[in-house]
Amino acid sequence: MMGMLLQFLYVLFGVLISVVLVQAQDQSGYTEKTTSIFYISDAKFIDAGVSKSISPAEKSTHLQQLAYVRSFPSGERNCYRINVTSGTKYLIRATFFYGNYDGLNQPPQFDLHLGPNLWDTVSFPNASLSEISEIIYTPSLDYIHPCLVNKGQGAPFISTIELRTLKNASYVTASAESLAYYRRYDLGSITNLVYRYNYDVYDRIWVPHGFNQWTQLSSTLNHDIFQNDYKLPEVVMSTAATPINASAPFQFYWDPDNVNEKFYIYMHFNEVKILAENETRTFNIFMNGKLFYGPLTPGYLTKNIIYSTSALTGATRYLFSLAKTGTSTLPPIMNAMEIYKVIDFAQSETEQDDVDAITNIKNAYGVDRNWQGDPCGPVAYIWEGLNCSYDNTPRITSLNLSSSGLTGQILSFISELTMLQYLDLSNNSLSGSVPDFLTQLQSLKVLNLAKNNLTGPVPGGLVERSKQGSLSLSLDQNPNLCESDPCIQQTNNKQPDGDQQKNKSNIVILGCLQ
Ligand SMILES: *[C@@H]1O[C@H](CO)[C@@H](O)[C@H](O)[C@H]1NC(C)=O
Ligand SMILES: *[C@@H]1O[C@H](CO)[C@@H](O)[C@H](O)[C@H]1NC(C)=O
Ligand SMILES: *[C@@H]1O[C@H](CO)[C@@H](O)[C@H](O)[C@H]1NC(C)=O
Ligand SMILES: *[C@@H]1O[C@H](CO)[C@@H](O)[C@H](O)[C@H]1NC(C)=O
Ligand SMILES: *[C@@H]1O[C@H](CO)[C@@H](O)[C@H](O)[C@H]1NC(C)=O
Ligand SMILES: *[C@@H]1O[C@H](CO)[C@@H](O)[C@H](O)[C@H]1NC(C)=O
Ligand SMILES: *[C@@H]1O[C@H](CO)[C@@H](O)[C@H](O)[C@H]1NC(C)=O
Ligand SMILES: *[C@@H]1O[C@H](CO)[C@@H](O)[C@H](O)[C@H]1NC(C)=O
Ligand SMILES: *[C@@H]1O[C@H](CO)[C@@H](O)[C@H](O)[C@H]1NC(C)=O
Ligand SMILES: *[C@@H]1O[C@H](CO)[C@@H](O)[C@H](O)[C@H]1NC(C)=O
């Protein structure tokens, strides 16, 4: 579990910044009184799941946005679709508070996906606490698909999804990796409160963290002195931790679950003391005994950020030691730290044009299937009736909407699935002509339009390809196809059902002699 356990503290906040908030509650929106954050209903972003209220006893002790959940008792994978700006860095946070909403006193365990990739596994070591999964992620498409996946250990549910845009130049990683929250500490806190929006314009959640070898330093800061790309809250940066033993190094460590895990660390420094002329505070930062950065002299009320320029990996323990230099009169300090774990989003999302086309097809025909999230990925949850190719960007290669109760015309959206090799629209109630745009599907090898109510002539390009043998074309049982033309096999169309059954495996090619 990469998420963190957190009990919400009631801290007063100001007005809202540019955030999109989704909430599993069927109302248009409301402002959370304790935070002044405006929450909107998630109804526009999903068409599955049911809204449920947490138990009344839990409601009184939690923030309003956790009072309802959206629960997913049916469907293996259920997905939100949230429009975003591609190429923009986001902090995305999903919050889960069980609150015994189902009366079972048994929190479920389930997976959280982002598009075709596993984001997190959500479990509840302590049912009375909320679970949070948070990532820093730059979407490559104009939408994201957060999905909840049932693993047979109870119905998934979700309380909130929150998105905030970050500065592109912040949380830089060597190869544009996505970062999952691991630790985020406010060091030297004198209030021992959790701070988020609007102390933090990006609504990062800062958890106070102390250690019995450390003590606190603090100062009062002026406004607007930390306007760099990371925009750390003043309240966090105005306090620092320092070793009690002034000659000892400042140390901390973490142990990864396995040596292959990759981390990025961001350390934030700010001198909180006005140093006398004969005082200096300079130190080196070592990781596992090797110089990581140094020497560093934190500026007074000017923020320094020291971070890993490539992922840290390969160790069973990451021990950081900040040791004062020989000439330094004062011990090291640190004001805040963030540690993120690289999250492997290796599977590409399906080509956006294909997703747009298939989404339009779904909406226009009212396709009654569990078609949510990325159409092609992960492979285990590929949309029923589709097949895809997976070289680099997944593409839809096969569409089977046979026996799906489709009515109306053959939609031109279908011709936007440009890599389609197999198209089966048989046994529906499609009417109108066989459209010419189907000839644009250059890769099409199988086209089955049998058992519909199509009319008129068949485009010559399709007939030509089927004669050449590059296209297997089925048009039988469309009684009005080519009605007024001297069509060959016209009579075939009017065979009684029994005979048709016998010749079911034959591909009936119907050519118009016009
Ligand atoms: C998301 O974007 C698509 C395409 O631009 C648009 O059709 C849809 O209405 C948007 N959804 C929401 C909830 O704004
Ligand atoms: C769960 O967390 C609450 C609040 O921190 C705590 O009071 C309770 O003891 C915890 N329960 C368990 C089983 O750890
Ligand atoms: C964001 O930064 C990366 C490098 O850090 C750069 O490649 C990319 O073009 C930037 N994107 C935007 C939208 O500025
Ligand atoms: C303080 O730290 C120094 C350097 O690590 C050590 O030699 C000394 O014993 C420590 N003093 C106490 C009282 O722990
Ligand atoms: C710095 O100077 C002050 C007096 O101005 C003195 O009390 C203090 O001990 C000196 N500190 C150091 C580290 O030399
Ligand atoms: C998709 O591929 C699988 C496995 O090759 C095949 O069994 C299935 O019929 C295909 N479905 C469609 C719609 O082409
Ligand atoms: C196409 O879908 C129909 C109805 O769902 C199914 O019976 C048929 O096996 C599918 N064909 C392929 C090739 O998967
Ligand atoms: C054709 O579709 C209907 C319902 O739309 C279904 O009952 C029937 O079984 C389908 N026939 C075949 C051959 O798939
Ligand atoms: C087929 O279409 C014709 C009009 O083109 C209509 O009169 C007829 O009712 C339709 N048949 C079915 C079975 O939908
Ligand atoms: C069915 O196919 C067989 C052999 O392919 C053919 O001889 C026969 O005439 C066909 N039946 C009809 C009714 O078309």
CATH number, domain with residue 415: 3.80.10.10
Q: Could you read off the pLDDT of 160-179 as tens digits, one per residue?
A: 999 999 999 999 999 889 99
This prediction's pTM: 0.85
Nearest CA owner, ligand 10 atom 9: 503
pLDDT tens-digit readout, 178-230: 999 999 999 999 999 999 988 898 999 999 998 888 999 988 765 555 567 89
Mention every residue, 6+ apart, whose C-beta is less than 8 A from residue 468: none
**CB of 347 closer than 8 Å to CB of 376:** no
Taking residues 330-334, what's their average pLDDT? 96
Q: Same domain, yes or no, for 284 and 397?
A: no
In this structure, are 208 and 242 located in the same domain?
yes
The per-residue pLDDT for range 219-252, each reduced to its tens digit, is 876 555 556 789 899 899 999 999 999 999 999 9
pLDDT at position 302 is 66
Q: Are residues 358 and 253 in the same domain?
A: no
Q: Are 365 and 406 in contact (CB under 8 A)?
A: yes
Q: Are residues 253 and 313 in the same domain?
A: yes
Domain enclosing residue 409, as ranges: 352-483
- For ligand 1, atom 1, the nearest C-alpha belongs to 83
CATH of the domain at 17: 2.60.120
Residue 273: pLDDT band (50, 70, 90) is confident
Beta strands 422-424 and 446-448, pairing class: parallel
E strand or H helix at 122, and its extent? strand 117-122
Same domain, 252 and 263: yes
Domain assignment present for 231 = yes
Nearest-atom index, ligand 2, CA of 129: 2
Residues with CB under 6 A from ligand 1: 44-45, 83
* 171 inside domain: no
Is the residue at 208 inside a domain? yes
Q: What share of the chain is helix, strand, coil (3-state, %, to 5)?
A: 10, 35, 55
Say whether both 323 and 370 belong to one domain: no
Q: Residue 61: pLDDT above 90?
A: no
The Cα 182–Cα 82 span in angstroms is 24
* Ligand 6 atom index nearest CA of 398: 14
Do 26 and 52 have their domain in common? yes
Q: Which atom of ligand 8 is nearest to the CA of 427?
A: 1
Together in a domain, 412 and 356: yes
pLDDT band at 487 (very low <50, low <70, confident <90, very high): low
pLDDT of res. 492: 45
**Do 475 and 513 fall within a single domain?**
no
Nearest CA to 198 out of 9, 17, 40 is that of 17
Identify whether residues 252 and 371 lie together within a single domain: no
Each residue of 98-141: pLDDT tens digit? Answer: 999 999 999 999 999 999 999 999 999 988 889 999 999 999 99
Between CA 333 and CA 281, with CA 308 as vertex, the angle to 5 degrees is 20
Task: Give just the sign of the alpha carbon dihedral 255, 260, 261, 266.
Answer: positive
What is the token pair recorded at 482?
């080519």
pLDDT at 473: 94
Rounded to 5°, the CA angle 94-98-102 comes to: 130
- Ligand 9 contacts CB of residue 429 (under 6 A): yes
* Percentage of the chain lying above the pLDDT 70 cut: 86
Q: Which residues pair with 50 in a beta bridge?
A: 71
Query: Structural domain tally of the chain?
Result: 4
> Residues 71, 92: one domain?
yes
Rounded Cα–Cα distance for residues 421 and 417 (Å): 9
Integer CA distances (angstroms), 18 to 21, 64, 201, in order = 10, 20, 9
Q: Mean pLDDT of all residues in the chain? A: 86
Q: Pick from 367, 370, 388, 402 the residue to mutate for probing ligand 7's pocket: most ligand atoms within 8 Å of its CB.
A: 402
Any domain includes 461: yes
Confidence at residue 496, expressed as pLDDT on a 0 to 100 scale: 43
Q: What is the pLDDT of residues 384-396, one digit of tens each?
A: 999 999 998 999 9
Q: Using pLDDT thresholds of 50, 70 and 90, give the confidence band for residue 12.
A: very low
Nearest to 80 by CA among 137, 154, 21: 21
Report yes or no: 9 and 194 within 8 Å, Cβ to Cβ. Answer: yes
| Confidence (pLDDT) at 4 | 27
Residue 51 three-state SS:
strand
